[in-house]
Amino acid sequence: MRARFFYGWVIVAVTFVTMGIGVNARTAFSLFYPSIVDEFHWEHGLTAGAFSFGFVISAIFSPLIGRMMDRLGPRVVMETGVLLMAGGLLLAPLTTEVWHLYLTMGLLVGGGSVCLSYTGQSLYLPNWFVRKRGLAMGIAFAGVGIGSIIMFPWIGYVIGHSGWRSASTMLGILMLVVLVPINLMVRKRPQDMGLLPDGDDHGGGAAAQLRRPTVVVVDPAWAATDWTLSRAMRTAPFWWLSLGFFCGLYSWYAVQVHQTKYLIDVGFSSNVAVWALGAVSLLGIPGQILLGHWSDRIGREWVWTISGLGFIVCLFALIALSFVPNMALIYLMIVTQGFIGYGTTSVMAAVVVEIFEGKQYGSIFGTIMLAGLAGGAAGPWITGLLHDWYGNYIGGFVLSIAFSVLGSAAIWFAAPGKVRAVAGRAHLFDQRAGAATTSDAG
């Protein structure tokens, strides 16, 4: 008898809340950034470098987190991330020197964020769903958007009335109070609780199994391989995925970290700049869910490309704002970045697990994310340096456009759809198999 409620949706809910607080606590650096620059008068590149340093630490931690997940499970990984991030946020108000910022917002917050954000959650959440993998991950990751519309105005208010130090302290306390208890509920895979992915029952008969649309193995030899990290690293798809992740996160964080300061520089008020950052994450909610669902129908490569196009249009809009600062371009930037661009997150885990599914998936994904986090570190840092050198952001944004194009191409070369076809394309392979059978019989 089929269970009335599948525990996988509890996992989705915990992930939703964890990312709503954890990811936005890291992103809040973009809101702290103008106040820190104004207070200490440090260079843009040097100050933004603290955020980038956090991504370097995340990149270093990422393979280690993958191994921790494989050996110890998600509860240890999640609670470690909460304690590191909360510690960094609670210590950051003591900052008086630039290295203090790198230690707290960089090492602790950045290092802890790899556990709670897309990287850590992608190490176990895909285990709970197969047919609805894109939809489930889109819903879970949409927590970032809900968190942003609640947290960013609140953080902006606290910064405006009490300063960035008070906002940082409150964020640290919030993480401890909410995230420590709820992450005791997570489990690595449904089989640990006697369940099956998607809430399927253990019976149902062969006929019922055949009626369920599912992922179709296109390359049986590849799918049957026992993928270890060393074996995966000797394949071209591993490196194409690494390049795609590097480029995708480069563009994402080059925009996200500098967006608030840039909008203020081109003449918009701080209120508009803070609202725009929150609106981007807000639109990411339906965007991630819709594009995640579409990825189950049309394929992961198409959704990654659509999301990359969103960032390209967003970056062109930002460049245009330096010449024609008007709200129409602000709206275009928000929609294309949030509703379209953020859809990348709903397929990040899927493009890896559908190529390298197996017992060491955590280690493989964590290592690929090393490249992604390196891109997330390079984007803000290089964009800040180019601003310091040339006095504007145009060169940095043009470079991000080039990376968005390259990243989309890389995912097509990795070709997860040539290993496993998503449920929405399963019928195409059924038809081919039927045609081949008919041809052989004739």
Structure confidence by residue, pLDDT tens digits, 111-143: 899 899 888 898 899 889 888 888 888 899 888
Supply the pLDDT for residue 208: 46
Alpha carbon 382 to its chain centroid, in Å, reads 20
Supply the pLDDT for residue 395: 94
- The DSSP code for 391 is S
Q: Does pLDDT of 210 surpass 70?
A: no
Q: Residue 216, SS3?
A: strand
Whether residue 279 lies inside any domain: the answer is yes
State pTM to two decimals. 0.76
- What is the residue-averaged pLDDT of the chain? 87
- The DSSP code for 420 is E
Supply the pLDDT for residue 288: 87
Whether residue 228 lies inside any domain: the answer is yes
Supply the pLDDT for residue 260: 85
Range 356-375 average pLDDT? 86
Supply the pLDDT for residue 150: 87
Decide: residue 161, CB within 10 A, 0-12 exposed, 13-18 middle, 19+ buried.
Answer: exposed
Higher pLDDT, 205 or 258: 258
Supply the pLDDT for residue 204: 53
Least confident of 4-18, 45-59, 215-229, 311-325: 45-59
Supply the pLDDT for residue 96: 87
Whether residue 65 lies inside any domain: the answer is yes
Closest C-alpha to 312, from 261, 254, 245, 369: 254
Alpha carbon 33 to its chain centroid, in Å, reads 21
Whether residue 212 lies inside any domain: the answer is no
Whether residue 196 lies inside any domain: the answer is no
Whether residue 178 lies inside any domain: the answer is yes
Closest C-alpha to 232, from 245, 222, 243: 222
Whether residue 182 lies inside any domain: the answer is yes
Q: How far apart are CA 131 and CA 123, in angstroms?
A: 17
| 14 to 75, 220, 350: CA distances (angstroms) | 11, 34, 19
Number of domains making up the chain: 1
Q: Which residues contact 365 (CB under 8 A, 6 or more apart)?
A: 66, 119, 122, 123, 349, 352, 353, 356
Supply the pLDDT for residue 439: 36
Q: What's the CATH code of the domain at 136?
A: 1.20.1250.20
> Domain range holding 63?
8-190+218-423
Q: Does pLDDT of 435 surpass 70?
A: no
Whether residue 389 lies inside any domain: the answer is yes
